[in-house]
Amino acid sequence: NSVKYISYAALLVLLFAIPLITQGPYMLRILCLVGINIIFACSLRAILNVGELNLAHAAFMGIGAYASSSLVMRLGLSFWLALPIAAIITAIMSLPLGFLTLRFRGAYFLLFAFLFAELIRVLLSNFWVDLFGGIPGLVNIPRPSINIPGLLQVDFSSNIHFYYLILVLVLLSVLVMYRIDKSRFGMVFNAITQSDVLAESVGICRMKFKVLGCIIGCFFAGIAGSIYAHFITIITPPDFAIHAVLLPIAYVVIVGMGSVFGPVIGTSLLMI
């Protein structure tokens, strides 16, 4: 155990030291995108862990991105408020999909998830154009900042500062999902994945826990969408179409779904 903890500590030191080693904007941009995709891949794993492949997951990332951008640009909220609110909105939006489609299995669930993803894309492209920008999307999305007069002032327009922000969010997200994995909920999710019929035979409500897994996954997809929008500063509806979930599926399965660290390693290896 001591060797494991020393390895984790050394890795953390290395991650925090990367901007001291290289400050190349291209390298830092790639590392920021890796971090965002780690959060997204881990959120996708949360739904795969209840035995379903959600082809609409990129659409939920889009909901988080548009919600956060709209809250900041249209309502004037701070990014630090918009980020959790966008994640909560995304989790709430996952409830209709969960209750309506998780009753189906296999190809039927995939079909309904695909239709939901296309519905979100069409709505963002053609409705409430003044709010969501229509097909051109939203541009000039502001990056966050911290301004405490006399104490602290950080402008995240720098990729170095944004790298640290994403790194902290990645660490928090992975830690929370790791704790969920090791909790009773994680054991129930694993039981449902192995055999949902057997799980129900010992008193586990399959539907309730599948919806819960969907909510958890979509909450973190909303976080990934929010941070993506404010990092890239421009989003369009096609960014979150069905194709956007295909690579993250590979990120999740390439190393394995047995641990939350699988998507972390898979995303890092494949993206870099």
Token pair for 111: 């079909």
Residue 106 has pLDDT above 70, yes or no: no
- Read off the pTM: 0.90
User: How far apart are alpha carbons 186 and 151 in whole angstroms?
Assistant: 41
**pLDDT category of residue 105 using cuts at 50, 70 and 90:** low
Task: Give the closest residue to 98 by CA, choosing from 242, 241, 208, 252.
Answer: 208
Percent of the chain residues topping a pLDDT of 90: 36
User: Is the Cβ–Cβ distance between 257 and 45 less than 8 Å?
Assistant: yes
Angle at 194 between CA 61 and CA 192, to 5 degrees: 60
Percent of the chain residues topping a pLDDT of 70: 98
pLDDT digits (tens, 9 = 90+) for 26-77: 999 999 999 999 999 999 988 888 777 778 888 999 999 999 999 999 998 9
Token pair for 99: 């209750």
User: How far apart are alpha carbons 189 and 51 in whole angstroms?
Assistant: 8
**Exposed e or buried b for every residue in 211-236, given b needs 16+ CB within 10 A?**
bbbbbbbbbbbbbbbbbbbbbbeebb
